[in-house]
Amino acid sequence: GQGETEEATQQGGQVSDETAEGEKTGEVELVEMDIMLDWYPNAVHSYLYVAIENGYFEEEGIDLNIQFPANPTDPINLAAAGRVTLGITYQPDVVMARANQDVPVKSIAAIVRSPLNHIVIMEDSEIQSPKDLEGKQVGYPGIPLNESLIKTMVSSDGGDPDKVSMIDVGFELGSSIISERVDAVIGAYINHEVPVLRHKGYETRYFNPVDYGVPSFYELVIVTNDNTWDERQEDIAAFWRAATRGYEFMRDNSEEALAILFDNQDQANFPLIEDVEKESLEILLPKMESEVGFGSQARESWRETVDWMMEFELINEEPSLDDIFVNIVE
Amino acid sequence: MKRWNSYFAPFILIFSFFVSWQVVAMIIAMPFILPTPLQVIAKVWDLKDILFLVHLPATLMIIVTGLALSIILGVGLAVWMNLSKTAEKAFYPILVSSQTIPIIALAPIFVLWFGYSIWSKVAVTLLITFFPITVSTFDGLRSSSKELKELLLTMGASKRDIFFKLNVPTALPYFYSGLKVAVTLSVIGAAIGEWLGAQSGLGYFSRRMMTQFDGAGVFAPIVLLSAVGISLFLAVVVLEKITLKWRKSE
Amino acid sequence: MKRWNSYFAPFILIFSFFVSWQVVAMIIAMPFILPTPLQVIAKVWDLKDILFLVHLPATLMIIVTGLALSIILGVGLAVWMNLSKTAEKAFYPILVSSQTIPIIALAPIFVLWFGYSIWSKVAVTLLITFFPITVSTFDGLRSSSKELKELLLTMGASKRDIFFKLNVPTALPYFYSGLKVAVTLSVIGAAIGEWLGAQSGLGYFSRRMMTQFDGAGVFAPIVLLSAVGISLFLAVVVLEKITLKWRKSE
Amino acid sequence: MSKASLQFENVSFSYENGHEEKEILNTLSFDVQNGEFVSIIGPSGSGKSTIFKLITGLNQPANGEIFINETNYSNRLGKVGYMPQQDLLMPWRTIIENAALPLEIQGMKKREAYDKVRELLVEFGLNGVEHKYPSELSGGMKQRISFLRTVLSGSNVLLLDEPFSSLDAITRLSMQEWLLTQWQKLKLSILFITHDVDEALFLSDRIFVFTESPVRKFVEVNVPLERPREIRDIHTPAVIEVKEQLIEQLRMGSTQ
Amino acid sequence: MSKASLQFENVSFSYENGHEEKEILNTLSFDVQNGEFVSIIGPSGSGKSTIFKLITGLNQPANGEIFINETNYSNRLGKVGYMPQQDLLMPWRTIIENAALPLEIQGMKKREAYDKVRELLVEFGLNGVEHKYPSELSGGMKQRISFLRTVLSGSNVLLLDEPFSSLDAITRLSMQEWLLTQWQKLKLSILFITHDVDEALFLSDRIFVFTESPVRKFVEVNVPLERPREIRDIHTPAVIEVKEQLIEQLRMGSTQ
Ligand SMILES: Nc1ncnc2c1ncn2[C@@H]1O[C@H](COP(=O)(O)OP(=O)(O)OP(=O)(O)O)[C@@H](O)[C@H]1O
Ligand SMILES: Nc1ncnc2c1ncn2[C@@H]1O[C@H](COP(=O)(O)OP(=O)(O)OP(=O)(O)O)[C@@H](O)[C@H]1O
Ligand SMILES: [Mg+2]
Ligand SMILES: [Mg+2]
């Protein structure tokens, strides 16, 4: 991985030079890039909107086009299909796609470095720790990863995971718990569902998977197609430089960054609640910051995640760690 | 008494539907799941600018394009199947299976082919609406009177004559039956299509509001969708009345 | 020549459909988005035990219950609207709007009412399928011959007689037209219903496979869904042939 | 014979067609006595079938009153046996099912009804067709089924709208004779529309000749023949004289 | 007059009904000369309408050959003008649209076609109904529209299946006279099914009397009358003799 990273950075440097030249003449054509978000735009994407608004992408010669997914799996599928240049998705999904189905995607950067996906219960619930879920119903959005999370957390808490009944509740995590049709949900995000529910007057509590035996996997990573990576490394590196500037701005001026997120988009497309996003960003920032640099990926994190996924039979064979991620951060 | 029945009573019934909705919603008291009609109306008013100027036109565009294609393709296929037993036997199974595939499974394929252009949404609308049109039209074409067909034949009518002068008028009532189902489905087709990736449209907006647990915001665009659906439906009813004038004198 | 046409040609056409699917899928070479038919068949074989013994029965249960309710309610409503102009005016708009509401918006309400029992899935199936049945049956009931009705009246026929001896036989072909659309939709209704919360069923299984990027696994249950849809459709066609025997002699 | 089975008192009727009104009957009065056989002849479109629709209760008079068996029913439907001008068989019912329709409506058991129909089918020279559909029959056969169905209504007043128009002379004669026998046996009152003057003469006690439009009054002719009659009786001089008179009236009516 | 407009040579035909076969014609031969007027009379269900369906090409003979204007067409559809026994008007077309149908099919312009129809409507005493729908007409009116439509086919061979059965004596006579005029003017060949012996005598050169079933051969009667004829000519002794003979044959046929 190390060598690749250096190479990428070098090439990235060249692109930057070219762009600088282009700016002088003022006539350089921007390179188009599509990025598919993991979900609808929210605080976690502020750095992208900041980078757009502040012209960082333009300075790098990139015309960034943001798209939203219909399915949670779209970012990986469409990045793999070459339909979008980049996709934002979840680390375990990348492992699963790569290991089970040979989907040709690789992660290029880690955005959120630890799980946001927690077990959420109502404030007044009698459940005090994951083992209390025995004999209860847990709703989840149909993603097998969540089953493994529950299994790990319940058994590490001393409970019997077989006694937990899991229900695929599709899109309806929030309403299923509020209407008390299930006792807990997993797959809900502490930076979205939890503050939104609070905003609507429902207090909740949550359990962090990392506290109950789950490795601290990267919640969000950026992926691209193997081929795209080979052919457009320079563009991607340029993208990353601009994104990093956006991130730094967001970290240092979070109020302003959020303001950009809100101002930048008309209400029509962004029915975001300000309080919620503010709270969300507070939760996110520590999870995005890395000593090694924004977006850097550690081989151990991938190792741990893959091992854990092997243990819980989410995957049947180990993917090669060299294929599955590259570091574009030095 | 009769006047009362035919104008007032339905009004009362529909009104009482809204009242019971209001009451049930107030009892449940979970506005993010089931908002009251008053909340929904207030929301429509709040958001009227973006709903009417941005999202409604975007969705209408999809609906109209999708329906137009659907009528052309559906009727075309029905006619082809009516003319050729082979076409019927070959297409019917494919046609039927096309309806049994959850669109969400096809979504990535549509996006792969059409990208995030309007065409992926139109494709969904098409897929949902053309089946009722095809089946009804086909059934209608089949049900024309054998006696009249024979009479036309003895007049030296060509296949074309029989088609236009006998089969088409016979199939019309069936076609309208199918079209009524189709225009209604077209609304939902467009909404689903918008989830495949859109930046505007009523369906998109509704789902977006769903992620914010804003019940009234979810239902406000849906109310508009319903209004579009009902208007299209009524348009078909009116068209039916005009073109099937002979029926009323029967 | 005629035999060839009617048996062999459709077979060839369907076959060539599969061949082109195979070829296209091989060219695209993205099995996680579009698997080849052969991969899908292999997957069905691999998973045959759990598909046929667990998920298929679960989905069939929903389909059958939903369809049965849908026929009862749809026909009942059509009859009611046929008997009473007031009912027609009151229910038609509500009926039409019910079809324009994306189910996803109603999902939480269904879950609220029915929990994660089979009934929330049945409700979705019902909601999707009863509209074509109602509209077709209603149109069919309306289209009975005025002359025959008058004749029956002169025989002292009660409303009941006219209904059973005239309206029902006249509406039957229309009803079948609607039923064909409905049985096909029932399959997709059950699949969508399963997304609202399920622990088994073909729709549930397909979606689960989607999260695993297993294209063939997504399509394997869909193939079964299609097969169910086609079988139901054929069953209606056969029923139609048997009960409308007089048509062939016309 | 003193009671009237059917009475029109100043009956007026118009068809409404959009904005237009077309007047068919204008203060028309007549009666048909119990056990009487009355024929109506008149030009095409003069309103003969319309009178039947009024009697059966399918149409309502704009003015005037209609009595059936001396009763002014508010709902006349089901009170008389009516054979419409078109045969109106149900295409989805076999012959036997079509013919048994009025019996079914009266609530008779299927088996019994079918036995009764089968008997008549034989009398009408139609054995062997009971399980066919109407589209497999000839025009005359369909007409006989429609006639048979009307007879089965069991009413004492029969309205027959050109019942024998598609029948050949021989079949027609045998149907006419059959009808006369039943009429006498069951003491029926019959109102009979026909275009055949000979038929009207052979069958009727009185003949109403419609000549003007809208129908206000009409010429009434008594047939100078005793019962029972034979077909050749209509060639007697007295009858021929009436016939010529009838034809003259019809001719005058149509050139009016 | 030496050429045949219509020829049957040993034609056999059966209706198939599931497993059963019902034989209607058995090696039947006849011809209709150019400009000839031939009537067919015979019992209900004997196969008269079936012969028309064979000539028009709607049905195909099992054996034998059918010539129209001396040609054995492989496809006879559209070669003759055919008026079916039921009026078969299209309920969704107005009267004028119904009548103009054959002209439309021949490709005539709408306006021209309508003018032609309107002219005939007046001649047939049907002015004012052109924009009505069939359900608003009386039985006899519908029959005249159907007749009018057939005449407009413009073919030199006309097959008329009981065209005047629903018409009153006067209207019928005027239609008959109109038909004879056209027949002579346009040198038509007409095959005419009727149940009315007087009608057959008044109109025809020859009359075919069907008596057996299946039809193998039939009795052929020449009408001993010159042209032009008047209706009262059929009361001349020679014709009355033929008429009695005809009726005798029909009676024998039906008791066979
Ligand atoms: N489509 C059909 N299928 C089967 N049998 C039929 C069909 N049409 C007519 N037949 C039978 O063929 C025989 C002759 O019928 P056809 O209509 O030729 O009689 P017809 O001489 O015209 O009688 P009518 O004077 O009553 O009109 C009848 O016994 C009838 O039942
Ligand atoms: N449903 C209707 N709507 C409007 N006008 C009608 C309707 N039925 C009949 N008429 C008109 O009423 C007049 C009388 O019709 P009716 O059927 O009583 O005539 P009819 O004496 O029975 O004639 P025919 O001997 O030809 O059967 C006709 O001019 C006809 O056009
Ligand atoms: Mg009449
Ligand atoms: Mg006939």
E123 lines ligand 2 (CB under 6 A): no
Strands E20-33 and E37-41: unpaired
Q: Is C1's pLDDT higher than 60?
A: no
pLDDT confidence of residue A16: 40
pLDDT digit string (tens) for A127-144? 999 999 999 999 888 778
Searching chain C, which residue's CA lies closest to the CA of residue A173? C108
Atom of ligand 1 nearest to the CA of D140: 26
- Here the tokens at position E51 are 């012969």
How far is residue C219's CA from residue C47's CA, in Å, rounded to a whole number?
Answer: 12
Atom of ligand 1 nearest to the CA of D138: 17
- What average pLDDT does range A142-157 have in this prediction? 89
Q: Tell me: domain E4-80+155-254, CATH 3.40.50.11720, correct?
A: no
pLDDT confidence of residue B5: 56
Find tokens 């069923």 and name the residue. Answer: C201
Subunits with 3+ Cβ pairs within 8 Å of D are B, C, E
Radius of gyration (C-alpha) of chain B in whole angstroms: 22
D45 lines ligand 1 (CB under 6 A): no
Q: Collect all residues of chain C within an 8 Å Cβ-Cβ radius of residue A228.
A: none
Nearest by Cα to A246 from A28, A76, A64: A64
Find tokens 């998973």 and name the residue. Answer: C47
Report the residue among D21, D49, D60 best suited for mutation to probe ligand 2: largest number of ligand atoms under 8 A from its CB.
D49
How far is residue E105's CA from residue E107's CA, in Å, rounded to a whole number?
Answer: 5
| Identity at B238, one-letter amino acid code | V
**Are the beta carbons of E167 and E175 closer than 8 angstroms?**
yes
Is residue C18 in a domain? Answer: no
E191 lines ligand 1 (CB under 6 A): no
How far is residue C96's CA from residue C89's CA, in Å, rounded to a whole number?
Answer: 11
Is residue B234 in a domain? Answer: yes
D125 to each of D94, D145, E255, how far by Cα in Å? 17, 11, 11
H/E stretch holding D40 reads strand D37-41
pLDDT confidence of residue B200: 81
Q: Running DSSP on this structure, what letter comes out for residue D215?
A: B
Query: Whose CA is closest to atom 27 on ligand 1?
Result: D139
pLDDT confidence of residue E255: 54
CATH number of the domain where residue C139 is located: 1.10.3720.10
Q: pLDDT band at residue A3, thresholds of 50, 70 and 90?
A: very low
- Here the tokens at position D161 are 């709208």
Closest-CA distance of chain B to residue E101, Å: 9
Q: Is A9's pLDDT higher than 70?
A: no
- What average pLDDT does range B192-214 have in this prediction? 79
Closest-CA distance of chain C to residue E90, Å: 14
- What average pLDDT does range B105-109 have in this prediction? 74
pLDDT confidence of residue E254: 60
Query: What is the Cα E201 distance to its own chain's centre?
Result: 15
C9: contact with B, CB 8 A cutoff? yes
Q: pLDDT band at residue A22, thresholds of 50, 70 and 90?
A: very low
pLDDT tens for chain D, 256 residues long, are 458 899 999 999 999 876 778 889 999 999 999 999 999 998 888 899 999 999 999 999 999 999 999 999 988 998 999 999 888 999 999 999 999 999 999 999 999 999 999 999 998 888 888 899 998 899 889 999 999 999 998 888 999 999 998 888 888 888 899 999 989 988 999 999 998 888 999 999 999 998 877 888 888 999 988 888 888 888 888 888 998 888 888 877 665 4
**Are the beta carbons of E214 and E47 closer than 8 angstroms?**
yes
Q: Cβ contact (<8 Å) for D135 and B146?
A: yes
Report the residue among E138, E165, E172 best suited for mutation to probe ligand 2: largest number of ligand atoms under 8 A from its CB.
E138
H runs (alpha helix) in chain B? 2-3, 9-28, 37-46, 48-50, 56-83, 85-100, 103-114, 118-142, 146-154, 159-161, 168-195, 202-210, 215-243, 245-248
Q: D212 CA to middle of ligand 2, Å?
A: 14
Q: Is A12's pLDDT higher than 50?
A: no
Strands E4-17 and E63-68: antiparallel
How far is residue A235's CA from residue C127's CA, in Å, rounded to a whole number?
Answer: 49
Q: Is A71's pLDDT higher than 80?
A: no
Q: Collect all residues of chain D within an 8 Å Cβ-Cβ radius of residue E196.
A: 169, 196
Average pLDDT, chain C: 86
pLDDT digit string (tens) for B28-48? 888 877 889 999 999 999 888
pLDDT tens for chain E, 256 residues long, are 458 899 999 999 999 876 778 889 999 999 999 999 999 998 888 899 999 999 999 999 999 999 999 999 988 998 999 999 888 999 999 999 999 999 999 999 999 999 999 999 998 888 888 899 998 899 889 999 999 999 998 888 999 999 998 888 888 888 899 999 989 988 999 999 998 888 999 999 999 998 877 888 888 999 988 888 888 888 888 888 998 888 888 877 665 4
Q: Cβ contact (<8 Å) for C148 and D88?
A: yes
E45 lines ligand 2 (CB under 6 A): no
Q: Cβ contact (<8 Å) for A170 and C107?
A: yes
Q: D125 CA to middle of ligand 1, Å?
A: 14
Is residue B225 in a domain? Answer: yes
pLDDT digit string (tens) for D42-98? 888 889 999 999 999 999 999 999 999 999 998 899 899 999 988 899 999 999 999
How far is residue D178's CA from residue B34's CA, in Å, rounded to a whole number?
Answer: 74
pLDDT confidence of residue A271: 66
Between C3 and A100, the more confident residue is A100
Which domain covers residue C223, as residue numbers?
39-249
Q: How many domains does chain C have?
A: 1
Return the minimum-mean-pLDDT range out of A293-297, B65-69, B207-211, E251-255: E251-255
pLDDT digit string (tens) for C210-246? 877 888 888 899 889 888 988 999 899 899 988 887 7
Q: pLDDT band at residue B201, thresholds of 50, 70 and 90?
A: confident
Q: Collect all residues of chain E within an 8 Å Cβ-Cβ radius of residue C147.
A: 135
Enter the pTM of the model. Answer: 0.84
Q: pLDDT band at residue B194, thresholds of 50, 70 and 90?
A: confident
Q: A144 CA to middle of ligand 4, Å?
A: 75
pLDDT confidence of residue D254: 60
Query: Whose CA is closest to atom 24 on ligand 1?
Result: E44
> How many Cα atoms occupy the beta-carbon half-sphere of A42 within 13 Å?
28
| Nearest CB to E136; choose among B152, B244, B249 | B249
B/e letters for C6-18, b = 16+ CB within 10 Å, e = fewer, are: eeebbeebbeebe
- What average pLDDT does range A290-310 have in this prediction? 90
Q: Is C248's pLDDT higher than 80?
A: no
- Here the tokens at position D147 are 């006639």
D167 lines ligand 1 (CB under 6 A): no
Asked whether this complex has an ipTM greater than 0.85, the answer is no
Closest-CA distance of chain C to residue E10, Å: 28
Chains E and B touch (3+ CB pairs under 8 A): yes
Q: pLDDT band at residue A274, thresholds of 50, 70 and 90?
A: confident
Average pLDDT, chain B: 85
Q: Cβ contact (<8 Å) for D17 and B146?
A: no
Q: pLDDT band at residue C40, thresholds of 50, 70 and 90?
A: very high
Q: Is B197's pLDDT higher than 80?
A: no
Beta bridge partners of E12: E63
How far is residue C32's CA from residue C213's CA, in Å, rounded to a whole number?
Answer: 5
pLDDT confidence of residue B74: 94
Q: pLDDT band at residue C58, thresholds of 50, 70 and 90?
A: very high
Report the residue among E24, E25, E39, E218 best suited for mutation to probe ligand 1: largest number of ligand atoms under 8 A from its CB.
E24
Q: Running DSSP on this structure, what letter comes out for residue A318?
A: P
Provide the residue ranges of all domains of chain D, joining segments of one domain with +: 4-80+155-254, 87-154
Q: pLDDT band at residue A115, thresholds of 50, 70 and 90?
A: very high
| Nearest CB to E135; choose among B152, B244, B249 | B249
E-only strand ranges, chain A: 31-36, 62-67, 86-89, 105-112, 117-122, 137-140, 165-168, 184-189, 204-207, 220-225
pLDDT confidence of residue E2: 59
pLDDT confidence of residue C5: 56
Rounded to 5 degrees, φ, ψ at A42 are -155, -170
C:25-54 residues touching chain B, CB 8 A cutoff:
28, 30, 33-34
